[in-house]
A = this chain, B = another copy of it.
Amino acid sequence: MQERSAETRADILASAEKLFSQQGYEGTGVAEICSQAGVSKGAFYHHFPSKHAVFMTLLEDWLNILDRQMQYFQGNAKSVPAALIDMAGMLRFVFQSAGGKLPMFLEFWSQASRDREVWQATIAPYRRFHQLFSDMVQRGVQEGSLQTTNAQETAWVILALATGILMQGLLDADGAAWDEVGKHGLEALMKGLSPSQSETEKA
């Protein structure tokens, strides 16, 4: 019985994700989610108090996946620039495994710009990603592999590059090899932030 309940919950989430991606959050109703998932309204409200709650669950699940990926790459490289360039390879994972889920990413951002609760749920992990990158940049400065006077700003630049490539890949999946673009971008950026460059320059 519990197993079936978990299955119902998963069906609701998968159906909602599909419909939100295709029609947007505003354009999708609870009735439609139920019909797509093949569950009753009673079953829906047993699992979720509202459409909004379903949306928030999808958002949190998505962010948890990204979080785990980030942690993984952080712990497996010999230097900070190497770790960041490795992370660009994460983009391939995001595009491949997320697949049809990607339009949801846009839906999250779009909702975040007008829904306070979604905004807070989005901004909190986004700032956490920023903090994680700031810490990495600072470690890079300490280990002598990076040079910057403003680690916070540098971290925003890295996050912006990743976000931008994600957006482009969403809009134009076949427009380029987006993981290659990410790698090229991170490499150029790391080179531009490398202290050896500026010292050689001075010499």
Q: Knowing A22-B114, A109-B106, A197-B197, say if A159 contacts B153 (CB, 8 Å).
A: no
Q: A17 CB to closest chain B CB, in angstroms? A: 13
Q: Knowing A27-B26, A113-B103, A192-B187, say if A153 contacts B181 (CB, 8 Å).
A: yes
A96 contacts partner chain B, Cβ-Cβ < 8 Å? no
Residues of B within 8 A of A122 (CB): 171
* Complex CA distance for A86 and B107, rounded to whole angstroms: 32
Q: Which B residue sits closest to A193, measured CB to CB?
A: B188
Q: Which B residue sits closest to A181, measured CB to CB?
A: B156
**Which residue from B25, B123, B184 sits with its C-beta under 8 Å from A154?**
B184
Q: A121 CB to closest chain B CB, in angstroms? A: 12
Q: How large is the interface on A (under 10, 10 to 19, 20 to 34, 35 or more residues)?
A: 35 or more
A41 contacts partner chain B, Cβ-Cβ < 8 Å? no
* Complex CA distance for A154 and B191, rounded to whole angstroms: 14
Q: Are A161 and B157 in contact (CB under 8 A)?
A: yes
Residues of B within 8 A of A22 (CB): 114
Q: Are B157 and A168 in contact (CB under 8 A)?
A: no
Q: Knowing A23-B114, A164-B163, say if A154 contacts B188 (CB, 8 Å).
A: yes
Q: Which B residue sits closest to A25, measured CB to CB?
A: B24
Instruction: Find the residue from A27, A190, A191, A196 having the highest chain B CB count within 10 A.
Output: A191
A170 contacts partner chain B, Cβ-Cβ < 8 Å? yes
A14 contacts partner chain B, Cβ-Cβ < 8 Å? no
Q: A159 CB to closest chain B CB, in angstroms? A: 7
